[in-house]
Structure 1
Amino acid sequence: MSRKLIYLAILYFMLTLPVNAAELPTKYFLPTSTAESIAKAAIAECNKINVPISVSVVNDQGRLVYFYRGESTGSNTVHTSYRKAYTSATLKVPTSQLTLAVESTGYSQLGKMEDDILLLTGGLPLLYDGSVVGAIGLSGAPNPIIEEDCGKKALSQLLPQ
Structure 2
Amino acid sequence: MYKTTTLLLAALTALPAAAQLRQTSELTLQAANRLAGSAIDACARQGRSIVVSIVDRGGNLVALQRADGVGPHNTEASRRKAYTALSTRTATLELARGAQANPDARNLANLPELLLLGGGVPLLAGGQPVGAIGVAGGGGAVNDHACALAAIAAVPELDQAKP
TM class, shorter-chain normalised?
A: 0.7 to 0.9
Q: Which runs of 5+ in 2 are unaligned?
A: none
Counterpart for residue 118 of structure 1: 115
**What SS does structure 1 have at the residue aligned with 2:78?**
helix
1:6-155 aligned within 5 A:
20-21=14-15, 22=17, 23=19, 24-103=21-100, 104-113=102-111, 115-155=112-152
Q: Tell me how many residue pairs correspond in the alignment.
A: 146
The C-alpha deviation readout for 1:89-136, integer Å capped at 9, x for no partner, is 1111100111123331321211112x1100000001101000111000
Query: Deviations 1:113-160 (Å, cap 9, x if unpaired)?
Result: 2x1100000001101000111000001111221111111111112125
* Deviation at residue 60 of structure 1 after TM alignment: 1.6
Structure 1: gaps spanning 5 or more residues = 1-9
- Which amino acid in 1 is paired with 2:147? C
Could you say which structure has the higher helix fraction? 2
TM superposition shift of 1:76:
0.4
Structure 1 vs Structure 2 CA RMSD: 1.7
Helix, strand or coil: the match of 2:114? coil
TM-score (norm 2): 0.83
Does structure 2 retain, via aligned residues, the 8 Å contact 1:61–1:90? no
Match of 1:4 in 2: none
In 1, the alpha carbon distance for the partners of 2:135 and 2:154 equals: 17
In structure 2, distance between residues paired with 1:148 and 1:123: 7
Moved more, 20-29 or 131-140: 20-29
Q: Is the 8 A contact 2:126 2:159 kept in 1?
A: no
Runs of 4+ displaced beyond 4 Å: none
TM-score, reference length from structure 1: 0.84
Counterpart amino acid of residue 106 in structure 1 = D
Identical counterparts, % of pairs: 31
